[in-house]
Chains A and B, each alone.
Chain A
Amino acid sequence: MVCFSGHVCVCVCVCVSSVLQAWLWCVSLWPCWLSHAVPLDCKDETGSLIQCTSISQEKLLDRVIQHAELIYRVSEESCTLFEQMFVPYPLHALRNQGGTMCHTKPFPIPGSKSEIQQISDKWLLHSVLMLVQSWMEPLIYLQTTLNRYDDAPDTLLNKTKWVSDKLLSLEQGVVVLIRKMLDEGILTPSIFEHTLTPYDEPSPEIPESVLRDYNLLICFKKDAHKMETFLKLLKCRQSNKLSCLSY
């Protein structure tokens, strides 16, 4: 149960099968998605609005994919850094589990390859956008928490800062892509409610905040992987439709 849209608040209860879910979501969220988005502003040195230099769709997609790849790699590095610094060894295995406590998304994203291959372009893009937008706030939160650590390495702080910035530009790119590929506008900022449930401290040695932050990093890494995968699939489809379709 998530209420996420800023202007049109639609609360939808989602359940059952993935396809039905997706379809329902598409239908239900349509009004939100139709709302007008703030276009990208191109400003020159004086500050007046000028025409943005145009870029081909293919190039834009490449750039977006590069962004996603970088974000994914940096998220993995941040997770490793945090793990080495603050997480005791036995709990490293938590990583293997991919973060069981990741915050829920408005709609579940299919995990099997076959299912993903059946997702439409539109859906791919929108899920990417949704993912990006869902992580903006938690990353800012993560930055503040990391600053409170006594001996957080500078690289870790820099990486999280960097990721936040890149996420913004990724969002912008995806918005433009959506506009170009799908001919629709989107509302750029969207509000996702994140329920960061407090954890019961499993052990006195490990503070809850550490676990929470670790979990956050793991979840973010997973979602970054999702973004990258979707975008690459999209690219594959753009260049060569046949080989990317499920067999």
Chain B
Amino acid sequence: MAYSLSLGLLYLGLLCGNGLVSARSELFTPDPSRGPHFTGCRSREQETFRCWWSAGIFQNLTEPGALRVFYQTKNALLSEWQECPDYTHTVKNECYFNKTFTHIWTSYCIQLRSVRENITYDETCFTVENIVHPDPPIGLNWTLLNVSRSGLHFDILVRWAPPPSADVQMGWMSLVYQVQYRVRNASHWEMLDLESGTQQSIYGLHTDKEYEVRVRCKMSAFDNFGEFSDSILVHVAQIPSKESTFPTMLVLIFGVIGLVILLVLLIFSQQQRLMVIFLPPIPAPKIKGIDPELLKNGKLDQLNSLLSSQDMYKPDFYHEDPWVEFIQLDLDDPPEKNESSDTQHRLGLSRSGSSHVLNFKSDDDSGRASCYDPEIPNPEDLASLLPGHSGRGDNHPLVSRSISSIPDLGVQQTSEVEETPIQTQPAVPSWVNMDFYAQVSDFTPAGGVVLSPGQLNSSPEKKKEEENEKKIQFQLVSDGAYTSENTARQLSTEVPPSPGPEQGYQTFPTQAVEGNLWNGEYLVSTSDSQIPYLLPEAPPAPILPPVSDYTVVQEVDAQHSLLLNPPSLQPAICPHSPNKHLPAMPTMPMGYLTPDLLGNLTP
């Protein structure tokens, strides 16, 4: 009941009297428009407190004693109103409560009364700890913590001491502090967080600027700040930046010098390469892959290998019938062909009757491995050799080879070979007994080829040959030192056909074209007399006994060298050409002749 009453009274007081709020905020500002009222109460150290009032508009109450202050401590037990224990004499309208009368944790209510009229003008209630405004801290000073590397910023540590009036040691008051700083004469103060200790660091101040720092405190868990302390000035002169930039410049200079030295070293060490990159040499005319020196001074076998690896001739040149012109039938030497061994077997040829020895070298792949390029017989010729064939396109004119090659393939190829000739010339029985090789002795005006013994005009063949020869000629003319037998032959039409000395056979490895027709080797004979264009002063070929210029490849040995017939005067020159030097190449029309080789052959 008592509680509710007091609460009600309190509430009434709140609603009617505005002085309650003023106990917190409006201090020392008397409101002249009002009647007598309290202007504020304050405690500095939580041990004493003072209250002030103002007479307001009632000027007649300004004389001392007209207005009196009564207080009441609201404990559990209600006590009566007591008058202000001490009216301060020096200060007007101040009531001072000393230590004896100051109780914390108890709420006070004070009343401003005019005793004469018995009117209570104002009343306010509070507890002492809620009106505590601590004194400002003392002993504010600063020390420099550090200066930044650039010399533009610095940090300081600010220290102070708690106000002497506050008994912090005993724990009577727990103070928290707030530091503020600003650039001198600026309008805005920077506020730092509350600090319960007595020091604080300030970071990031600019050199060459003057700062003001001040601090104030309040009781922790309460809201009333005390007055600010006196401001101190903080100033750090900017260190001249010469020192800091000097090492930087040095480092920069040395770095640049080092870089330059490095660059020069690099250039000198890689001079050759750089020369190539920046000043590429103008390429001398040369054939790719062939060293001109080698051509001048190299050995025959090296040359052969080189040449075999050359990709000089267009494959499509001889796409249709690459080996047409290379087939030469020698019908007069049947007995010489009897020694061909397994190839004949493969071909299904009869040893006895057949004088056609087709010893083909065929690879199952497109690489060439032999040094001799036997002339691949015409599919028609093959047809003549192999009775009972079915015709087909001239896809694989090759015949199998011996030994290491795949027998199946050989058979296959044999069969293919078998097939091809049938289409073209289903009936060439008259050639069965003829050699594959024959020497062209003369050209007819009509364009026919006159073969030496057993001649048969095969005009279409000859025409093809001529065409191809022409083509070759055009191509070969541009090829420098090389010529082919075809060209030679053609050129030698004016030359009276003479068998010429029995020259050796120059076999040159050919290239097998992928999917091309040409997969065989062919023999080419060289003859001095047939190359007037290379050797303009070639001596007229001496007349020799009519020995055929061609010989038949009897066998192929393991090193892919062709074994020729012994009767030829010239030993078979079969340079070994390792397989690996023979990548896939387009077909070559004929053999090649180099000036050296010619020189070798010239008797």
Contact = CB atoms under 8 A, between A and B. Distances in A.
Interface of A: 69, 72-73, 75-76, 90-101, 104, 108-114, 117, 197-200, 202-203, 211, 221-222, 225-226, 228-229, 231-233, 235-236, 240, 243-244
A233 B8 contact: no
Contacts of A95: 130
23 contacts: A76-B221, A93-B20, A94-B14, A96-B127, A98-B129, A100-B10, A101-B3, A113-B167, A113-B172, A197-B3, A197-B4, A198-B4, A200-B7, A202-B7, A202-B11, A203-B11, A211-B7, A221-B221, A222-B105, A228-B174, A229-B172, A232-B170, A244-B170
Nearest to B125: A97
Interface string B1-37: 1011011101100110000110110000000000000
Contacts of A200: 4, 7-8
Given A101-B7, A108-B76, A200-B8, A114 B221 contact: no
Interface residues of B, number: 42
A96 B6 CA distance: 15
Contacts of B127: 96-98, 222
A104 B7 contact: no
Contacts of B172: 113, 229, 232-233
A72 B21 contact: no
Interface in B490-514: none
Interface string B95-138: 00001101111110000000000000000011101110000000
Contacts of B129: 98, 225
B182 to A, nearest CB: 29
B600 interface: no
A225 B106 CA distance: 12
B79 interface: no
Contact of A199 (B7, B74, B106): B7
A115 to B, nearest CB: 8
A113 B342 CA distance: 133
Interface string B323-341: 0000000000000000000
Contact of B104 (A76, A112, A236, A243): A112
B220 interface: yes
**A-B pairs with lowest CB-CB distance, top 4:** A232-B171, A111-B103, A98-B127, A76-B221
A100 B99 contact: no
A103 to B, nearest CB: 9
B169 A243 contact: yes
A96 B4 contact: no
B46 interface: yes
Contacts of B404: none
Nearest to B2: A197
A31 to B, nearest CB: 25
A125 B6 CA distance: 32
B150 to A, nearest CB: 41
Contacts of A96: 20, 23-24, 107, 125-127, 130-131
B143 to A, nearest CB: 28
A89 to B, nearest CB: 9
A108 B75 contact: yes
A101 B129 CA distance: 17
A233 B131 CA distance: 22
Select the residue from A95, A221, A226 with max chain B CB neighbours within 10 A.
A95
Given A69-B174, A96-B23, 6 more contacts: A91-B14, A93-B24, A95-B130, A112-B99, A202-B11, A203-B11
Contacts of B170: 117, 232-233, 236, 243-244
Most buried by B among A202, A228, A243: A202
A133 to B, nearest CB: 18
Contacts of A233: 170-172
Contacts of B528: none
Contact of B106 (A69, A94, A111, A117): A111
B169 A236 contact: yes
B74 A100 contact: yes
B381 interface: no
B47 interface: yes
Interface string B70-99: 000011100000000000000000000001
A118 B107 CA distance: 22
A24 to B, nearest CB: 16
A235 B171 CA distance: 9
A97 B126 contact: yes
A219 B451 CA distance: 139
Nearest to A105: B76
Nearest to A65: B171
Given A76-B221, A100-B10, A211-B7, A111 B130 contact: no
B107 A97 contact: yes
Nearest to A99: B107
A222 B172 CA distance: 14
A127 B349 CA distance: 134
A196 to B, nearest CB: 10
Contacts of A73: 220-221
Nearest to A103: B76
Contacts of B126: 96-98
Interface string B167-189: 10111101000000000000000
Contacts of A92: 21
B3 A93 contact: no
B513 to A, nearest CB: 88
Given A93-B14, A104-B76, A202-B8, A98 B130 contact: yes
B218 to A, nearest CB: 12
Contacts of B7: 100-101, 199-200, 202, 211
Contacts of A98: 105-107, 126-127, 129-130
Contacts of A211: 7
A199 B4 contact: yes
B74 A114 contact: no
A150 B104 CA distance: 35
Interface string B572-598: 000000000000000000000000000
A184 to B, nearest CB: 24
Nearest to A224: B221
B300 to A, nearest CB: 97
Interface in B368-413: none
The CB with the most chain B CB atoms within 10 A, among A112, A117, A199, is that of A112
Given A96-B20, A96-B23, A244 B130 contact: no
Contacts of A198: 4
